[in-house]
Amino acid sequence: MSIQLTTAEQLARCRADFRMGVGVVLCDGASQWIVASAETLSAPRFDGLRALGDLEIAITNWRAVTLSTWANDGDIARIFVPNDQGLDWVRSMADPSDDLRRPMLGPFQHVYDGDAQAHRLALSICKSAHLLPAAVVVRVTGQEACGLHSVDLQTIKEADAVLGAQLAHISTARVPLKYSKDARVHVFRPQDGGEEHYAIEIGNPSRAEPVLSRLHSACFTGDLIGSLKCDCGPQLDAALKNIAEDGAGVLLYMNQEGRGIGLANKMRAYALQDQGFDTVEANHRLGFEDDERNFLLGAEILRLMGFDAVRLMTNNPAKVDSMNTAGIAVSERVPLKAGHNHLNADYLATKAAKSGHLL
């Protein structure tokens, strides 16, 4: 067995480097790029990159639309960083928090030369690291990148597939709950060292028939501190109660906070909502898709637990589609309506109108 890092492990290391503000080298034969997160890059490192050559910033299509420009490479935009602009300009390109008070004014100089695969991978790493999806990129030659972690682009056919690491079952213990004393918590860990996910199994559900299940994404604000901006906490409570009353089932608790963008970006989205944007619009202004979660991880957990069919408690058709696509048959969609209040009425209306939730 090789002791070398797998591609998924290399990308996990890149994710950690991005969060620390450290650059990473992406290689394609003789071509090399140093890429770094626009959010975490320090001023001295920014100046160091600028000394190596012309700087570019890569942003997503949604962020480009917000800046009244366009994605010149399909789903991303590559924009030249003007020589008279510094790190503050780069961060303003990445962060929409001050867009209304001090909008970024173009025209921006787009970059068309060369391939955009390094830029696209850098944005994928930003997203998986729960950072703003914006990356600083500089093409280098020779030994300028010596000492930084390197990833060979030729080993990466599809970044999204690599970033979705496989899960392993780590541990199980009995945890009596208020709705059922007969409950066990299972912990699953991605093989790339990413965030762990959990399964709460109540009773002794049969593996030979569809199991009553809920695919629940972590929500610090709703699940833990009782936020009234969403319906997550009441849905979690109602799902556990329904499973207990049914006699057996599984609740999957996935660490995919804020529709997969992380808690820091979720708070950024909340701040944008206070400026008058809805949930989807806020995500787009940040540069994210409507929903960045990977529901296939839930299907993998169910498969590892021995299930191949579910009665899925959800109002989200995308979860049903993901389960079926992953080979976990959804025999029934069980509606789960809880937590409606006057403070989240607009939020729920947006989920129904723009995300197709059946409310």
Both 22 and 126 in one domain: the answer is yes
**pTM, 2 dp:** 0.91
In a domain, 286, yes or no: no
Both 176 and 138 in one domain: the answer is no
What pLDDT score was predicted for residue 29? 79
Q: Select which of 285, 291, 308, 311 is catalytic.
A: 291
Confirm or deny that 258 is annotated as ligand binding.
Answer: yes
What pLDDT score was predicted for residue 242? 96
Both 96 and 217 in one domain: the answer is no
What pLDDT score was predicted for residue 159? 45
Taking alpha carbons only, the member of 101, 53, 115 closest to residue 81 is: 53
Confirm or deny that 235 is annotated as ligand binding.
Answer: yes
Both 144 and 204 in one domain: the answer is no
Both 244 and 321 in one domain: the answer is yes
Of the three residues 162, 196, 219, the one that is the final residue of a domain is 162
Q: What are the per-10-residue average pLDDT scores of the chain (359 residues)?
A: 79 94 90 95 96 96 95 94 95 92 88 91 95 96 76 68 71 97 96 90 96 96 93 94 96 96 96 93 96 92 96 92 93 85 73 65
Of the three residues 113, 146, 162, the one that is the final residue of a domain is 162
What pLDDT score was predicted for residue 339? 57
Both 96 and 22 in one domain: the answer is yes
Confirm or deny that 85 is annotated as ligand binding.
Answer: no
In a domain, 300, yes or no: yes
In a domain, 285, yes or no: no
Both 97 and 241 in one domain: the answer is no
In a domain, 43, yes or no: yes
Q: Is 293 a catalytic residue?
A: yes
* Token reading at 100: 């209304």
Number of folded domains in the chain? 2
Both 197 and 346 in one domain: the answer is yes
Of the three residues 136, 162, 188, the one that is the final residue of a domain is 162
In a domain, 302, yes or no: yes
Both 147 and 196 in one domain: the answer is no
Confirm or deny that 218 is annotated as ligand binding.
Answer: yes
Interval 261-296: pLDDT, tens: 999 999 999 999 999 999 999 999 999 999 999 999
Both 135 and 68 in one domain: the answer is yes
CATH code where residue 116 lies:
3.90.870.10
Confirm or deny that 219 is annotated as ligand binding.
Answer: yes
Alpha-carbon span 222 to 219, nearest angstrom: 5
Both 125 and 171 in one domain: the answer is no
What pLDDT score was predicted for residue 160? 47
Q: Select which of 293, 303, 311, 333 is catalytic.
A: 293
Confirm or deny that 37 is annotated as ligand binding.
Answer: no
In a domain, 264, yes or no: no
In a domain, 287, yes or no: no
Domain carrying residue 217:
166-256+293-355
Both 196 and 104 in one domain: the answer is no
In a domain, 50, yes or no: yes
Q: Is 84 a catalytic residue?
A: no
CATH code where residue 198 lies:
3.40.50.10990
Phi, psi dihedral angles at 309 (to 5 degrees): -155, 145
